[in-house]
Amino acid sequence: MSTNKLLDNINMMHNHELIGLSKNRFLPEDLQLAIAKHPYKRAHTYLADNPGLAKSARDYMWSDRCNSGYALKTDLISAGHYLDEPEKYSELYDRYKSRWANSSWRFERAFLHPGWNPHKRVSATPSDLLRQIYTEKYEPLFRSTPMMSGGYWFNGVPKHTLRSFAEHPNCDLQLAIMLSTCGEPSVEKAAFQKIVQLSK
């Protein structure tokens, strides 16, 4: 089927057809843009995860013309589509930091964990932003709550989330030192390992 025919019929497609196209990493740029401009939000989610996403479609989906919320933006960051534009990480955090509690898993996936995109499995959150996230979103919990550690949680925070700070490729010496005194042994161990690595 020709690209023109697909473009001409994009608004007549069923949801599963749009999703199928969104997943195709060889999808031409004009079709990607057409899907990005289509109102079906779930197709946008699959398109954001597409390793072949064109910059024009990526930037349109980031814009408020497509969606003024944070969900799609976190998906784009998580998939590694802005690895070379660290200012987007800061833009996302600064604009939506008040929404962190609403979907902490989305923000943690975007800023702390490697992206889901197998071709770009790396997180590029800048060092200064990592420190800011830690001191604004997590450190206050440790300082205001009696130390409680056991199983999966530490003071209401998943331990693996805290270890993600220490294990992040952009964790700098200042953040590693802060983490090394947080009070959770597994996190402190990861932080000490990072300190040794950075001190070589």
109 within some domain: no
- The residue out of 26, 43, 68 marking a domain boundary is 68
139 within some domain: yes
Looking at the DSSP bridge assignments, the partners of residue 150 are 153
Alpha carbon distance 154, 90 (integer Å): 27
pLDDT digits (tens, 9 = 90+) for 75-86: 999 999 999 999
Selection from 171, 168, 188 nearest residue 179 by Cα: 188
9 within some domain: yes
92 within some domain: no
pLDDT digits (tens, 9 = 90+) for 167-195: 999 999 999 999 999 888 999 999 999 99
80 within some domain: no
* pLDDT top residue among 98 and 145: 98
What's the pLDDT score for residue 88? 97
Q: Is the pLDDT of residue 120 over 70?
A: no
Torsion angle (degrees, nearest 10) of CA 14, 17, 23, 28 = -100
Q: Domain of residue 48: give its range.
A: 3-68
81 within some domain: no
DSSP string, the chain: --HHHHHHTGGG--HHHHHHHHH-TT--HHHHHHHHHSS-HHHHHHHHT-TT--HHHHHHHHSTTT--SSHHHHHHHHTTTTTT-THHHHHHHHHHGGGGGGSHHHHHHHHTSPPS-TTS------HHHHHHHIIIIIHHHHHHS---EETTEETTEEHHHHHHHHHSTT--HHHHHHHTTSS-HHHHHHHHHHHHHHH-
Look at the block and give the residue holding tokens 């997943």.
Answer: 23
Give yes or no for a contact between 35 and 44, defined as CB atoms under 8 angstroms apart: yes
- The residue out of 68, 89, 119 marking a domain boundary is 68
Q: Is the pLDDT of residue 121 over 60?
A: no
* Mean pLDDT, residues 150-164: 79
184 within some domain: yes
What's the pLDDT score for residue 146? 60
- The residue out of 23, 45, 68 marking a domain boundary is 68
pLDDT digits (tens, 9 = 90+) for 20-51: 999 999 999 999 999 999 999 999 999 999 99
76 within some domain: no
Domain tally, the chain: 2
